[in-house]
Amino acid sequence: MKVLNEKVKFSIITSCNDIIMQDVEELLVAGVPQIFFIDTRKDRCELDTFRYLSDEDRNRIRSLKKESDQNNYQVTHSLINYIYSRLLKCSVAVIPYKMGIYKKPYIRNDFNYHFNISHSNNYAIVGLLNSELGVDIEYYDEQLDFASLVTGLFSPKDKLYIQTERKKFFRLWTAKEAYLKYLGTGFYHDINGIACIGDGKNQITLLDMKTKSEHSVFILEEQEYFIGLCRDE
């Protein structure tokens, strides 16, 4: 377990059996964001314990061609189903999944509990909170031509921040993705209109130029990945 700014619980798990529901519920009630991090490769996690799937989930997994995509989907959706079926005291088959206006999934409940998921290559994360949140994970790709992306997708403030530093690009990209997922808009919101105005050890501050609002995104480096979390402030 790691702590982000003493306000986020970060847990590396290998099995659904690692989830302690009493802890999950206490942290949800206390308003502490939780991030679960899983290496979804068959030899790195107990994939058979992530078995809490609806018929729709199983059909979706069968439609995916890559094993990594299948594993990521199975692990993240099983984890969400497992937790919510216990929070709501219902079977997986009747968990009330809904879609927001921009297709961001949520589960209707009286407790205002929210979740968000993200995956990259063979790693996946699940975020939980008692208010809206967005999480993102990005693989630190040494081969990516990030300079061309900076030219087309980043503001002048961002370019000044990144310059030629690959790590800064990935920190900022992860922060922006987490913020867009928090909004629930994805790229319907202009990513160029979100600028970096501050960078701390575990935090990037973004300015949304459309709404003139500032937002803090927690950033964590874990193995070869960057993880971001944006929440209500």
Domain segments of the chain as ranges: 2-131, 138-231
Residues 184 and 138: their CA atoms lie apart, in Å, by 18
* Strand 123-129 versus strand 114-120 pairing type: antiparallel
Per-chain mean pLDDT for the chain:
93
Answer whether residue 205 shows pLDDT above 70: yes
* Structural domain 138-231, CATH architecture: Alpha-Beta Complex (3.90)
Q: Residue 3 contacts by C-beta under 8 Å, 6 or more apart in sequence?
A: 9, 10
The pLDDT of residue 1 is 40
Contacts of 149 (CB under 8 A, 6+ apart): 169, 173
Write down the pTM of the prediction: 0.94
Q: Evaluate whether 15 touches 49 at the Cβ level (below 8 Å).
A: yes
Same fold, 2-131 and 138-231: yes
Q: Which of 6-10, 19-23, 188-192 has the lowest mean pLDDT?
A: 188-192
What mean pLDDT is predicted for residues 193-199? 93
Q: What per-residue confidence (pLDDT) applies to 6?
A: 55
Instruction: Please say if the pLDDT value at position 34 is more than 90.
Output: yes
Q: What percent of the chain shows pLDDT beyond 90?
A: 83
CA nearest neighbour of 134 among 106, 111, 157: 106
What is the rounded distance in angstroms from the CA atom of residue 138 to the CA atom of residue 136? 7
pLDDT at 232: 87
Q: Please give the pLDDT value at position 4.
A: 43
- Report whether 129 contacts 147 (CB < 8 A): no
Write out pLDDT tens, residues 99-158. Answer: 988 889 999 999 999 999 999 999 999 999 999 999 999 999 999 999 888 887 888 989
The one-character DSSP state at 148 is H
Torsion of Cα atoms, 174 then 177 then 182 then 188, to 10°? 170
Query: Which has more pLDDT, 185 or 92?
Result: 92
What are the DSSP E strand ranges found in 45-143?
97-99, 105-107, 114-120, 123-129, 133-139
pLDDT at 65: 97
Cα Rg of the chain, angstroms: 18
SS3 content of the chain, % helix, strand, coil (to 5): 40, 30, 30
Region 174-180 average pLDDT: 95
Mean pLDDT of 39-57: 97
Residue 14 has pLDDT above 60, yes or no: yes
What homologous superfamily does CATH list for 2-131?
4'-phosphopantetheinyl transferase domain (3.90.470.20)
pLDDT of residue 233: 77
**What gap in Å lies between CA 144 and CA 152, rounded to an integer?**
15
